[in-house]
Amino acid sequence: MTAFDADRVKCVVWDLDGTLWDDIAVESPTDELPVPRPEMLAAIDALAARGVLSSIASRSAPAVLDRLAAGRPEVRERFLAPQVSWQDKSESLRRIAENLGIAVDALVLVDDSPYERAEVEALLPAVGTLAPEDVPALLAAFEGREVTPESRARVDRYRTEEARRAEGERFHGSREEFLSWCAMRLTVGTATPEEVPRALELAARTHRLNSSGLTPDRLGELAASDGHELYTARMTDRFGAYGVIGAALVDRTGAGTGTGTWSVPLLALSCRVAGRGAAAAFLFWLMGRARRAGAEEFRVTLRPTDANLEMRILLRQAGLRRVEDTEGATPDSAVLGRALHGELPKPPPYLHVSDREDAEA
């Protein structure tokens, strides 16, 4: 078993032969597949209840996946973005991560073969690898962690995302025309008490669209202190609701900046909405809200990482540049800022953005 960080794990990838079931599927004399091990199905269901996805990476004939869908649909539906082919396991994991829109290091592989685990460890060292007998330790790593409503609904939301992707592949038109057809709506407002746990979860589990990596404990402390406001963003489209997909902490104390400044120590969004304009729309909404509140400058704390290049590009495109005269930076972070006078950037035309209070009126 190689080490893994449970806070980063978003998907457990399961081998089939010798792992999910005992026998080798392609050696079966009939089309009947081996019977899955009950303890493995129970583990998959326990992970799903905690918001952890499951997928398949199996070096076998692709027809095995079709047989699984036809003969055991109740098992097949547990897995998202499965890969069954003769390609290397490391390549299967890359494709799973790409299809799910998550980082490769958010995966853990469960495989009975020491060779397959070693191949992944060599080519994808950030991926945790486990033998089937390590599954109880995997489950134990998630015990005691708070499960938000968004977490419990995560598997279903990813299934809906698969439907979106399939519809997008069938759609005749440009990417922007498809996004417009999806009728996406983003509503933003002050976080309700019920949304705070989800905001803390976003701080801990998002990396691709996370400005600073502020810890959940620190976010909770700041959000409860005077002069700070926590905002959340929800998104829907014609396929259904995404739930809370964004969180931003605003510091209005003026510490080290001046009272005419809105400072954002954390801006974090779910990777599920990457590439749909939601991150830009949320950021631009915050800038507009700051100006309406009388602020003259807008600042965001940025801690550059290998994962958040997309966030860094977004901040630069929004006109934010490094600020030198600030007390908000740490040795591994910077503060970016811009003036709020003049025309502010606008969200993509295919995404309708509104204040939550207006939407509920």
Which tokens belong to 227?
């002069």
pLDDT in tens, 269-295: 998 888 899 999 999 999 999 999 999
- What phi-psi label fits residue 54: left (phi over 0), alpha (psi between -120 and 50 degrees) or beta? beta
What per-residue confidence (pLDDT) applies to 178?
A: 94
> What is the C-alpha separation between 326 and 185, in angstroms, rounded?
36
What per-residue confidence (pLDDT) applies to 152?
A: 79
Q: Does residue 361 have a pLDDT over 80?
A: no
CA atoms within 13 A on the CB side of 238: 11
What is the chain's mean pLDDT, rounded?
90
pLDDT in tens, 139-196: 999 887 777 777 778 888 888 888 888 888 899 999 999 999 999 999 999 999 999 9
CA quadruple 246, 96, 5, 42: dihedral, nearest 10: 100
- DSSP-based three-state secondary structure for 8: coil
> What is the C-alpha separation between 262 and 269, in angstroms, rounded?
19
- DSSP-based three-state secondary structure for 273: helix
**Terminal-to-terminal C-alpha distance of the chain:** 53
What per-residue confidence (pLDDT) applies to 205?
A: 84
CB-CB contact of 182 with 234 (8 Å): no
pLDDT in tens, 94-112: 999 998 888 899 999 999 9
Kindly list the distances between the CA atom of residue 179 and the CA atoms of 80, 102, 243, 347, in Å, as whole numbers in the listed order: 23, 20, 18, 13
Helix (H) / strand (E) element for 256: namely none
Residue 210 one-letter amino acid:
N
What per-residue confidence (pLDDT) applies to 234?
A: 96
CA quadruple 79, 81, 87, 93: dihedral, nearest 10: -90
Kindly list the distances between the CA atom of residue 320 and the CA atoms of 191, 298, 325, in Å, as whole numbers in the listed order: 25, 8, 15
What per-residue confidence (pLDDT) applies to 256?
A: 46
Domains, the chain: 11-140 (3.40.50.1000), 176-360 (3.40.630.30)
CB-CB contact of 348 with 179 (8 Å): yes
Which tokens belong to 293?
């509140």
- Residue 184 pairs in a beta bridge with 351
> What is the C-alpha separation between 318 and 259, in angstroms, rounded?
22
> What is the C-alpha separation between 275 and 176, in angstroms, rounded?
11
- Residue 21 pairs in a beta bridge with 17, 36
**DSSP for 180-231, written as a single string:** HHTTEEEEEEEPPGGGHHHHHHHHHH--TTBSS---HHHHHHHHTSTTEEEE
What per-residue confidence (pLDDT) applies to 351?
A: 95
DSSP single-letter state for residue 271: G
- DSSP-based three-state secondary structure for 280: helix
What per-residue confidence (pLDDT) applies to 332?
A: 80
- Tokens 């134990």 correspond to 140
What per-residue confidence (pLDDT) applies to 166?
A: 86
Helix (H) / strand (E) element for 107: namely strand 107-110
What per-residue confidence (pLDDT) applies to 15?
A: 97
Residue 284 phi, psi (nearest 5): -65, -35
- Residue 186 pairs in a beta bridge with 235, 353
pLDDT mean over 309-327: 88
Q: 318, 310, 313, 312: which is closest to 339 by C-alpha? A: 318
User: Within a 10 A sphere around the Cβ of 302, how many other Cβ atoms?
Assistant: 24
- Residue 269 pairs in a beta bridge with 246
pLDDT in tens, 57-97: 999 999 999 999 998 999 999 999 999 999 999 999 999 99
pLDDT in tens, 217-261: 999 999 999 999 999 999 999 998 989 999 999 998 864 455 589
- DSSP-based three-state secondary structure for 173: coil
